[in-house]
Amino acid sequence: MPALKRFLLLLTLLLLAPFTSADEHQVSLVAHPDVDIRSLTRDTTRAIFAMRQRTWPDGQAVRVFVLPNNHAVHGRFTKERLAVYPHQLQLAWDRMVFSGTGQAPNRVSSQSEMLERIAATPGALGYLEREYLDDRIQVISME
């Protein structure tokens, strides 16, 4: 009987896992509430995070915030939403910094810090898992 119970428990966990993890771990593009944009294309979002596009359409400076390259959420965001690997973004940032043509984004150490910095910085853009979203920031949809 214990083997049957273990099997049923494992089966239940396997069946429920897809329904809980996808929503809980979805990474959203988020911005300071004063940003007038409500949606961005993948190409525009990629250009902003690659630090090639530095202003919003209204002329306001974009302040980009990212997590460390080895952070799981950063990896998921870059691969799933931008369709690039974290090291590719880092190479682009390094090239701009070392050539003097641009700067790297603002790096934060945690999603909690990301939330605080985006909420407090006009023009800010970053990304967070759903559980960190609140009314101090806005979610930007991606087309």
What digits encode the pLDDT tens for the residues 83-136? Answer: 999 999 999 999 999 999 999 999 999 999 999 999 999 999 999 999 999 999
4 within domain boundaries? no
Handedness of CA 40, 41, 47, 50 (dihedral sign): positive
**CA distances in angstroms from 125 to 1, 3, 108, 138, listed in the order given:** 54, 50, 12, 10
18 within domain boundaries? no
pLDDT of residue 29 exceeding 90: yes
The predicted-structure confidence for 62-73, as pLDDT tens digits, reads as follows 999 999 999 999
Predicted model pTM: 0.82
Report the CATH number at residue 96. 3.40.190.10
14 within domain boundaries? no
3 within domain boundaries? no
121 within domain boundaries? yes
17 within domain boundaries? no
13 within domain boundaries? no
Q: What pLDDT band is residue 25 in, cutting at 50, 70 and 90?
A: confident
Domain of residue 30 covers 25-142
Domain count across the chain? 1
